Structure 1
Amino acid sequence: MDKQVDKQLIRVIKAVNNMPQSQFSEIVNISRSLLEKIEAGNMPITENTALKIRSAFDLDAEKTDHVKKTIDLLTLDKKNVSNSEN
């Protein structure tokens, strides 16, 4: 399984592009119900689905890694803000 392509990455792609599930699933050529299951954590992302996502959004391993690191940094900053408020 492609560990770089995960539901968090999907959500970021959708958010950055202001894209609803229906549009994302159409672009990637997967069913909306499959996308819903993936985002809910009820279905793993197969290699085939990861490949479709990478292809549809022109994401090579380097770009995906960069996006994942950015997500991690933003998540870390959000956690630090929450901890400092307590």
Structure 2
Amino acid sequence: MAKHNDIKGALDFMRQGYSKDGDSFSFTVADIVSNLDITERQAKDVLRAVNTRARFWRGDFPAGSELVVNAPVYDRITNWFD
């Protein structure tokens, strides 16, 4: 089960990555793992928790797959856990 602080950290990571230049921001599960210092399984749980509410990625989250944050995704995650 994803922890609140891990979800908040992942959302902060996504928001910061996207807002740097406004272009689409791509990241992988491995990026979340290294940024939050959590395990791959925890990172996948966090991304599943985010996805349950945001509904912007489909399927599983293999470590090598890139997940993209773009303007519509950013709008859905902007005000979470501010």
Q: Flag whether TM exceeds 0.5 (same fold).
A: no
Q: Which has the higher helix share?
A: 1
Q: Which has the higher strand share?
A: 2
Whose RCO is larger (CA < 8 A, sep 6+)? 2
**Normalising to structure 1: TM-score of the pair?**
0.32
Please identify the structure whose Cα radius of gyration is greater: 1
**Normalising to structure 2: TM-score of the pair?**
0.33
